[in-house]
Every structure is written in structure tokens, then in C-alpha cells.
Amino acid sequence: MLRVRCLRGGSRGAEAAHLIGAMLGRAVTGWVQRAFQSTSIAAAAQPRHAAEDVTEPEQQECPVCSYNEWDTLEEVIVGRAENAHVPAFTVEVKANTYEKYWPFYQKYGGQSFPADHLKKAVAEIEEMCNILRHEGVNVRRPEPIDWSLEYKTPDFTSSGMYAAMPRDILLVVGNEIIEAPMAWRARFFEYRAYRPLIKEYFRNGAKWTTAPKPTMADELYDQDYPIRTVEDRHKLAAEGKFVTTEHEPCFDAADFIRAGRDLFVQRSQVTNYMGIEWMRRHLAPDYKVHIISFKDPNPMHIDATFNIIGPGLVLSNPDRPCRQIDMFHKAGWTVVKPPTPLIPDDHPLWMSSKWLSMNVLMLGEKRVMVDANESTIQKMFENLGIKTIKVNIRHANSLGGGFHCWTTDVRRRGTLESYFH
């Protein structure tokens, strides 16, 4: 088993200690040479000290380190529902939402989500944070921002949306935080809510990468994307046609899911092949990115379709079967089909499906945060020998995410390993 430990200063891998010495040597060479002449006389005049007075730089743990979805969780970012606004009903939003909710977007686009519903969502997420703290997890939050402000670029005009789903915008791979470029115009400046946190992590040793920001010009979207019926969606998805084009790279971080040295990703309405290729080149050669696909009429974010919950253990949505599932069976993985969600039909899910029931957050290999209302999936986890931490975020679900979506794990207690052969 390969063991890798994150060290402050951005080093990664088993060779980290050696690299730190080499990096320090290169960094100080220049100023040592310049300073040598001015200090040599003074140094010669000083008494010689014993060798034990010379100490090497202390190696400290990096505050960011996470390789998979299930190691023991130590620190997490939890999103905010405060000030959340409904995105304008643009072509990319229409392609990612269900027809039954189109009148809602047409009525509320650019305005706040219904105030009473939002108030309940805020309270639920606060309680979720309290429970995470009780489970020994350090909780961090993005900055509150006024998302109603309109902004204009050379290519489009929009207002903002929210900072509710950090999983959509931030991907942690080892000791690196990757900011996703996103694909919705309403989310163009969403990163601003997370910048104070990311700068803090960077100052304390984490790597920080911002993927190329798309212009989100009209060319990024198929303006004539035909999505009148579910049948349309199935046909288009089967043909590999999506509302986002290959005009420039775009991706949401939530279309990737991690299992050590292997990451799995889907081409979706918000993640194109150029975005996937950028990530593949960026993470090579230490990590391998695998493209997988599903029988899904509206692919957007992988973690309510295919959620890896342990080493060689994955939840696979039975309504959206994975076309490459055989390769997981051949690798010796256990594929579990979660039960049908229990959420009632009349509960609003403006940005997602009922399958948020499987959008769980692993607090460790044997602990999971799960919907308090979903008794059947609780039983499934108990049969797998996994303790359930039951939390109710039913109103928060309406904003487009479950526990996995509402969080980004910053630090997990684990090592870099290979689980997929």
C-alpha cells in the first residue's frame, strides 16, 4: 500500500520531505549568494556555535488533504442558503430543470427564493452544522453575499444565485483546492464567497488552482436545444448532445467523484469534454480521470447517480444505470442499488430529483450522514454495517442538493491509495 502524507508548503507524495529540502535549497541560493559578501566578515568575527544550534525547518501538516469520499472527515465547508436567489430562466437553466418547474423560474427568476421556505432551509443547515461539530468535524462557511446584484461582462448580463453548494465549485484532490469554472451565468462569480477561506488555506500550505474561466458567451450554449419532453431529453443524452457546446472548457466540480488515484466524471449539461480534458491533463500523471456515462435524461452532477461511499463500494442509481458498470464489477467493487426515495411528490425540488436520498456524506468508512426522513436507505446502510447520522434538510433539498452537495470535504484522515485496477 502506498502511503502519502500532505505536508505544508504544497508538497505531495511519498517524496515530500525530499522535495521540501530541494525546494528550500533552490529558493535560498540566490539571496545567500548576494548576502554572502556583506555577512562573511561579521560571521568570521563571531564565535563558532555547536552543530546542535542549527535546526531544520519544521514540517507541519497541510490544512487541506483529502483523497476520497469516505476517510474520516476532519474539516468541511458547508454552504449557505442566506440570500439565495432563483437564477434567470436562461437556456442553460431550462435544460437543467424539469418542465413542471418552468413556471416557477419564469415567475421568480432573478428574485429571492420564497422567504418562508428559505428561512426553514437556513435553520436546517445550521442544525446540520451543529451535528457535524458534535461528530468531531470542524465546520467552515462561505461569506454571506448579496446575490441580487446585477453584473455585466462583455458577453452577458446576469445576477447571482447562491453559495449553497460548495461541492459544485470546489474539488479537493490531495492538498490542492481546485476552483471549477462553472457553466451557469448566474454562478459566474460564485467563487467570491469562498475566496477568504481559500486564501487562508493557501497561506497555510495548500495548493490553489483556478481552472480557466469561460467567457460564457452565447457560443458556449446550444441556443436551440430542444427539451420539450422527457423523451427529448433521453434521446439527446443518448446521442451525446447537451446544452453546453465545446466552445471552451467548462465543468462543475460535482461531476467528478474521487477514489484515491482514480477520479470518475460524466459529460453533463454543465461539464463538457474540454473541461474534462483540462482536468485530466492537470491531474496527470498522479491521478487518472475516467469518463463514465448513465442512462440519464438530464445529467448534471454525478453524486445523486453514482456515489462512491467506501473502498470498492458504490451506490449506483437504479433509475440511471451506469453504462460502464461491468468495469467496476471486474475491479472487484460492490455495487449497491439504493431503494426508491420516500420524498413526497408535492415537496418542491426546483433543481434536483428525489434521488437526493443517495446524496449522502460519509463521515468515515463506517459513519454516514443521511436524510432523517428516508427510513429505507437508513436500513440499507445499517445492513452494510454503517452507522447512520440522521439529519433533516428537506427544505434545503429544494435548493438543489443533499448532504454531499451542501459540503466540500477539506481534510480527511487518510492516505493516497489505488482502489481501481
Q: Respond yes or no: is residue 252 known to be catalytic.
A: yes
**Residues 148, 83: contact at Cβ < 8 Å?**
yes
Percent of the chain with pLDDT over 70: 85
Q: Among the options 168, 252, 303, 371, which is catalytic?
A: 252
- Under 8 Å CB-to-CB from 71, ≥6 apart: which residues? 364, 365, 412, 413, 414
Q: Among the options 65, 250, 322, 405, which is catalytic?
A: 405
**Residues 198, 190: contact at Cβ < 8 Å?**
no
Higher-confidence position of 217 and 234: 217
Four-residue CA torsion sign, 55, 57, 63, 65: negative
Interval 28-50: pLDDT, tens: 344 434 433 443 334 344 444 44
- Between CA 361 and CA 369 the distance in angstroms is 5
Q: Respond yes or no: is residue 6 known to be catalytic.
A: no
Q: Respond yes or no: is residue 129 known to be catalytic.
A: no
Interval 360-392: pLDDT, tens: 999 999 999 999 999 999 999 999 999 999 999
In order, the DSSP letters of 182-242 are -S-GGGTTGGGGTHHHHHHHHHTT-EEEEPPPP---GGGB-TT---SSHHHHHHHHHTT--
Residue keyed to cell 474539516? 75
Res 324 pLDDT > 60: yes
Interval 100-141: pLDDT, tens: 999 999 999 999 999 999 999 999 999 999 999 999 999 999
Res 6 pLDDT > 60: no
Amino acid letter, residue 285: P
Res 4 pLDDT > 70: no
Q: Among the options 301, 303, 395, 409, which is catalytic?
A: 301
Res 51 pLDDT > 80: no
Interval 240-279: pLDDT, tens: 899 999 999 999 999 999 999 999 999 999 999 999 999 9
Q: Where are the domains of the chain?
A: 72-413
* Nearest partner of 267 among 259, 278, 256, judged by Cα: 256
List the CATH code of the domain at 72-413. 3.75.10.10
- Between CA 195 and CA 193 the distance in angstroms is 6
